[in-house]
């Protein structure tokens, strides 16, 4: 089983719909992240959390929100999806040394 | 403003030869650099890293070189193998410690190693 699990793996939705991407981890790490990958742009940090009570915005947080329900769970929400949020989304964890462990990704298409 | 740039979208190399992937950065505050490898339908996986206090770090077939004055780093793979075919991302962070994990990524370079 994967150490970092993302659900759903693929989702097609319509403009204006609310979408939640979920992430759970079994690595026991305190730090969790949401990144977005677009072609030609690499990965960009959306939100990060260093523990359950700590939530921080990344480079591109507009249009997104997150919830850290437990040490092992970190979900990303799009309150009203728009087409330019079509992307591949990655959840990641890290320990204090900072090496990121990524999930397999969630491909979101907004029509 | 792209603070970490990988100007070669793709690289094709013969098996057994050296692969050299390049990365340039503009933020002089970056002090920790990493390379990640990504296969299709998988998340990126950590490959190798280097602190700004070093100019070289080696791990088996993989060596990363850092030239701080030129704000340039490179990843050398010797010898290249077909299983190395993947997308390679360069990444950087500032300040270490609590900044670890908050990475700025380059656009990625697709490496293809031909048998």
Q: What is the mean predicted confidence (pLDDT) over A24-44?
A: 92
User: What is the DSSP annotation of B4-31?
Assistant: EE---SEEEEETTS-EEEEEEE--TTEE
Mark out chain B residues that contact chain A at CB-CB < 8 A. Answer: 4, 6, 9, 32, 34, 36, 41-46, 49, 89, 91, 93, 96, 98-108
Look up residue A24 and give its two tokens: 């759970």
The pLDDT of residue B63 is 98
In percent, the amount of chain A with pLDDT more than 70 equals: 98
- CA dihedral of B41, B46, B48, B52, whole degrees rounded to 10: 120
3-state secondary structure of B2: coil
Min Cα distance A111 → chain B (Å) is 22
Q: How far is CA A33 from the centre of its chain?
A: 6
Per-position DSSP letters for A39-108, written without gaps between them:
TTTEEEEEEEEEETTEEEE-TT-TT-EEEEEETTEEEEEESS--GGG-EEEEEEEE-TT--EEE---EEE
pLDDT of residue A40: 79
Q: Which pLDDT score, from 0 to 100, does residue B99 have? A: 61
| Distance to chain B for A8, nearest Cα, Å | 13
CA angle B90/B93/B94 to nearest 5° reads 150
Nearest by CB to residue A102, choosing from B43, B100, B107, is: B43
**Binary contact (A98, B43; C-beta < 8 A):** no
Shortest distance, CA B108 to any CA of chain A (angstroms): 6
Give the closest of B6, B44, B49 to A102, CB-based. Answer: B44
Q: Write out residues in chain B with pLDDT < 50, as ranges.
A: none
- Rounded Cα distance between B74 and B21, Å, is 5
Confidence check: pLDDT of A83 > 90 = yes
The chain-wide mean pLDDT, for chain A, equals 93
Rounded to a whole number of angstroms, the CA Rg of chain B reads: 13
Predicted local confidence at residue B58, as pLDDT:
97
In chain A, residues with a C-beta closer than 8 Å to the C-beta of B36 are 100
Residue A92 pLDDT greater than 80, yes or no? yes
Q: Is B41 within 8 Å of A104 when comparing Cβ atoms?
A: yes
With a cut of 70, say whether residue A26 has pLDDT above it.
Answer: yes
CA distance B62 to B54: 16
Residue B62: per-residue pLDDT: 98
**pLDDT at residue B76 in the model:** 98
pLDDT of residue A104: 95
Beta-carbon pairs below 8 A across chains A and B: 63
pLDDT of A75 strictly over 90: yes
- A42, A58, A99: residue with CB nearest B108: A42
Mean pLDDT for the stretch of residues A80-100: 90
């Amino acid at each position: 089983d994967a150490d970092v699990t993302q659900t759903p793996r693929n989702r097609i939705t319509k403009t204006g719909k609310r979408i939640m991407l979920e992430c759970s981890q079994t690595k026991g790490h305190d730090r969790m992240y949401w990144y977005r990958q677009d072609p030609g742009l690499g990965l960009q940090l959306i939100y990060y959390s260093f523990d359950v009570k700590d939530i921080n915005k990344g480079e591109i947080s507009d249009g997104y929100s997150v919830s850290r329900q437990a040490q092992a769970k970190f979900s990303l929400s799009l309150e009203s999806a728009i087409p330019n949020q079509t992307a591949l989304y990655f959840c990641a964890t890290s320990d204090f040394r900072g090496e990121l462990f990524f999930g397999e990704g969630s491909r979101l298409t907004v029509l | 403003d792209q603070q970490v740039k990988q100007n070669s979208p793709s690289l094709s190399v013969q098996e057994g030869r050296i692969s050299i992937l390049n990365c340039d950065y503009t933020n002089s505050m970056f002090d920790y650099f990493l390379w990640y490898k990504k296969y299709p339908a998988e998340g990126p996986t950590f490959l190798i890293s280097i602190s700004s206090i070093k100019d070289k770090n080696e791990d088996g077939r993989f060596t990363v070189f850092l030239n701080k004055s030129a704000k340039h780093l490179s990843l050398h793979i010797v010898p290249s193998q077909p299983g190395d075919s993947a997308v390679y991302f360069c990444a950087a962070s500032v300040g270490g410690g609590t900044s670890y994990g908050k990475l700025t990524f380059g656009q990625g370079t697709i490496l293809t190693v031909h048998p």
